Structure 1
Amino acid sequence: MLDVQKIRKDFPILNRTVNGKPLIYFDNAATSQTPQQVIDVIVDYYSNYNANIHRGVHSLSQEATDAYEQARNKIQKHFNAKQSHEIIYTAGTTHSINLVANGFSSLLKKGDEIIVSALEHHSNIVPWQMFCERTGATLKVIPMNENGELILSDYDALLNENTKLVFVNHISNALGTINPIEYIIEKAHAAGAAVLVDGAQSCPHLKPDVQALDVDFYVCSAHKICGPTGVGMLYGKEEWLNKLPPYQGGGEMIAEVSFEKTTYAGLPHKFEAGTPNICGGIAFGAALDYMNAIGFENIAEYENELLAYGTAELQKIEGLKIYGTAKEKTSVISFNVGTIHPYDIGTILDKMGIAVRTGHHCAQPIMDFYKIPGTIRASFMFYNTKEEIDAFIVALKKAIMMLS
């Protein structure tokens, strides 16, 4: 069992007030908060060994390099990658997806087909549309049902000998649906296609094992997992990473450079041009340490309690409709109340110190499916409480009364 009150003391921001009210932070699907243990690692880096990595013989550079590569090893261990060089540091999930899309542009051609799902974030839609414009490949979509679940029989029908790539999120950021990625991966591989899984929303709640999943690419961002913004990960099977060309040119990603020809470095450096977010990478590792110390099974169990409690309380409110009622989902609740615009409710909740997300959540096709402009999204993490949900329900009822 989690000691939630003890955990909350690790997060300085949870002590602040917003508009004179104690902060209730229910926007975790956008960005999680950062514990003092990770903040301390960031401060320590800039206070004691801030230096560029891989290039210097002096002590600070050596210390920074060691810490950065040790963090890569932590990420490898956390996701159970076979090799540490299969972990590529990126600026985040969006950067990771674009890196893969850019690489495959030289491998696919007109007539090839790629598949995405109807539940994707724009970051896993737009790069592939751009990809199709460059290559002539065709983009196909796995449809969803009213519950916010993918229709797997339609997915099976989409797969054929022309399918080269399948892209799907592990968990929907807009609805909280946990997709059956094991099934999706197995079916794609049987058709000869590679698979990229967007793990931005799953990694705060689950502990993916990339070898057990047999996934070809897995991507995520540190800022969803109690880490800093501006850093993330691309896991790729070594055989695939060797096939893809570099995404960017510059320092670090080279073996030899002349004006006649450049040869590229091996993995992972081939994809890590320029000075990286060194402190971010180190803090990414520290964030995983923090969450593993709590335990992902404990996190999942507690967050499922919050989800069940929050869902039950919201369903008591007349005129409130929840979008995303999949059998398998995580601690995200998207909803609307009658004809009240979600932005108006979100604005009033903010005046009461409650942070929720409103809008289409960078998942506009989902909103188009439901024929709505957007939703109010409350997303919970392991440092939230049922008492906060109670306060949220009271504030929501006030907002509804004011707007009705």
Structure 2
Amino acid sequence: MLHIFVGPTLTSEDLEQFSVIAVLHPPIRHGDLLTLPLEESDTIVILDGLYHQTTALRHKEILYVLGKGVRVIGAGSIGALRASELDGLGMIGVGDVYRAYRDGLIEGDDEVAVAHAPSGSWSALNLPLVNVRKMILSACSEGIVTTEQGTRLLEEFRSIFYPQRSAQAVTHRARQAGQSQFAAWLETKLTYDRNFCNQKRVDALEAVALAQTPHRGKVESPILRAAADRNWRTVHFREWHAHFHTSDINGKAYRSQDRLWFQQIFDPNFHAVWRDFLEFYSQYPADDSPGLPLAARLDALYGTDMADGENAGAKMVWTIFRPRIEVCSELYHKILFRHEVGDDIRTLDRYLCINQEFQRKHPRWSTEWIRRDVAARLLAELWNIEGTDIEGESRRRGFHTFNMAVKAFSRFALGYLDDVQKGSQ
């Protein structure tokens, strides 16, 4: 399957010239590659991406799909930029823009950045600097300006903040700089050819053409082995992956992190689940180090026996062993979600809908702002514990700290309070 992330660089008419069947996606953003169902034989073409108004596509997301054997081609905009940074690890760069980044001829993000129309059509509202450079070179070759004049014009145009660098702004600044002939020449060129000197488009078309060539899946090489190496999967990457990982339940996607948080907060018997998870994790560590039964591991560290459930060792285990949970692991799901039932999913869905409705009505507020003391009181009541034990109970439920429990509870607090209120009526 061919996936193309495209926005203003190519139009639907541009893509109609290709016979290959492709899944078209809007400009790529952080998380898109982590949620895409992929196979080794797939190809991804990255052209356009978002970064000003949202978190940009991260390099390790590309490494993640390269490690699966997926072919990733970049050109035009953020695709060219990321390819210049990752071509040594298997990403394929295409076109003049990519080569300019690779060779250090250009560096800034604003070289390819464009503002998008708010209508959702992804129409570009400004000229990217790489295209402006091409226009100036063309003007020099036609004798409209000298090389020295072209250099000065480029500095003038570079000084315009990228969302405001429209064709009108460029020609207006050219006239202000005494280059009326260039301004008139450019207006004429763009009138008769809206793609005049559109280097991003030329490169993007080349990338899509390359993507039509066969890709037979993972090829063993030092480069792809490096991309597949687990050592680059840092804590931050695992948190991103967990944040975006979803599970399909009854035809609806739920974040695995939300499902786990719900169990940690609301399952009265989650202590046993967490203890069994720690036992499994101790015997089969994620870093492939030698496994040990949990009691033996604790004894090796502190000489503390855990045979008696009431002794110091049993109490220490919650504090000592606090692994980060990779909610993307189906193997871990079997342990962590073993108490999950249909009513849990229905309640989770209702709580999340209440949260979303609150955010829709109050966009300037966030449920994450719940006061710590309020969360402590509500959770102490829910867990039927003394408030002084809130930190320990949070750890017994798999949270590193009480603050993490508060973050999880904030996703469900409004729904929970709604249930409490209805139950008291």
User: Which structure features the higher share of strand residues?
Assistant: 1
TM-score with structure 1 setting the length? 0.29
Larger Rg: 2
TM-score with structure 2 setting the length? 0.28
Name the structure, 1 or 2, with higher relative contact order (CA <8 Å, separation 6+).
1
User: Which structure features the higher share of helix residues?
Assistant: 2
